[in-house]
Amino acid sequence: MTTTVETEAPARKRRRWLRPLIIALSVLLVLALAGLGGAGWYFSGEVLKVEHGEDAYSLTVEAVDETTVTLPLGSATERPGTWGLQWEDGQAVVGEIITADDDTVTRALEAVLYGDLTAGTAARIEKWTFRDDPKTGLGLDYSTVDIPTDLGDMPAWLVPAEGSTWVVTVHGRNASPAETLRAVGTYHDLGHPVLAVTYRNDEGAPDAPNGLHSLGEHESDDVVDAVDYALANGAEDVILHGWSMGGATVAVAARKLADTDAVRGMVLDSPVMDWNSTLDMQAADRDVIAPITWAAKRIVEYRADIDLDDLDQRNFADEFDMPMLLFVDTADETVDHRATLEFAELLPPDRTTVMETASGHTASWNEDPAAYEQTLTTYLSTL
Judgement on whether residues 146 and 231 belong to the same structural domain of the protein: yes
Sign (positive/negative) of CA torsion 208, 209, 215, 216?
Answer: negative
Do residues 253 and 200 lie in contact, with contact meaning Cβ atoms separated by under 8 Å?
no
Whether residue 50 is contained in a domain is answered as: no
Based on the domain organization, do 183 and 116 belong to the same domain?
Answer: no
Compute the distance between CA of residue 132 and CA of residue 143 in angstroms, rounded to an integer.
14
β partners of residue 167: 194, 239
232, 291: one domain: yes
pLDDT of residue 37: 64
H or E, element range at 92 = strand 90-100
Residue 280 lies in a domain: yes
Q: Residue 11: what pLDDT?
A: 53
Q: Minimal CA–CA distance to 313: which of 208, 240, 378, 229?
A: 240
Residue 175 lies in a domain: yes
Question: 304 and 225: one domain?
Answer: yes
In the predicted model, is pLDDT for residue 25 greater than 50?
no
Residue at a domain's end among 85, 107, 126:
126
On the question of a cis peptide bond just before residue 132, with omega within 30 degrees of 0, the verdict is yes
What is the predicted pLDDT for the residue at 54? 85
- The verdict on 212 and 313 lying in the same domain is yes
Q: How far is CA 23 from CA 10, 11, 37, 335, 376, in A?
A: 20, 18, 21, 44, 65
- CATH number, domain of 152, equals 3.40.50.1820
Q: Is residue 305 part of a domain?
A: yes
Do 139 and 114 share a structural domain? no
Q: Are 101 and 214 in a shared domain? A: no
- d(C-alpha 273, C-alpha 254), whole Å: 13
Answer whether residue 121 shows pLDDT above 50. yes
Q: Which domain holds residue 109?
A: 59-126
Q: Rounded to whole angstroms, how far apart are CA atoms 320 and 266?
A: 9
**Same-domain status, 241 and 93:** no
Whether residue 5 lies inside any domain: the answer is: no
Identify the domain boundary among 126, 146, 170: 126
Q: How many residues does the chain have?
A: 383
Specify if 24 maps to a domain.
no
Residue 20 phi, psi dihedral angles, 5° rounding:
-65, -30
Of residues 38 and 79, the one with the higher pLDDT is: 79
The domain boundary residue, chosen from 126, 160, 176: 126
Residue 330 within a domain: yes
Convert the pLDDT of each residue in 245-275 to its tens digit.
Answer: 999 999 999 999 988 789 999 999 999 999 9
340 and 318 together in one domain: yes
Is 27 part of any domain? no
The tally of domains found in the chain comes to 2
Provide the percentage of residues in the chain whose pLDDT is more than 70. 90
DSSP sequence for 232-291: HTT-SEEEEEEETHHHHHHHHHHHH-S-GGGEEEEEEES--S-HHHHHHHHHHHTT--HH
Output the pLDDT for position 259. 82
CATH of the domain at 98: 2.40.10
In terms of domains, do 119 and 209 share one?
Answer: no
21-25, 90-94, 172-176: the lowest-pLDDT one: 21-25
Calpha distance 334→350 (Å, rounded):
29
Q: What is the pLDDT of residues 313-345, one digit of tens each?
A: 999 999 999 999 999 999 999 999 999 999 999
CA distances from 219 to 199, 201, 260, 308 (A): 6, 9, 18, 14
Does 376 share its domain with 233? Answer: yes
Predicted local distance difference test score (pLDDT) of residue 180: 98
Round the average pLDDT of the chain to a whole number and report it.
92
Residues 366 and 81: beta-carbon distance below 8 Å: yes
Residues 176 and 308 in one domain: yes
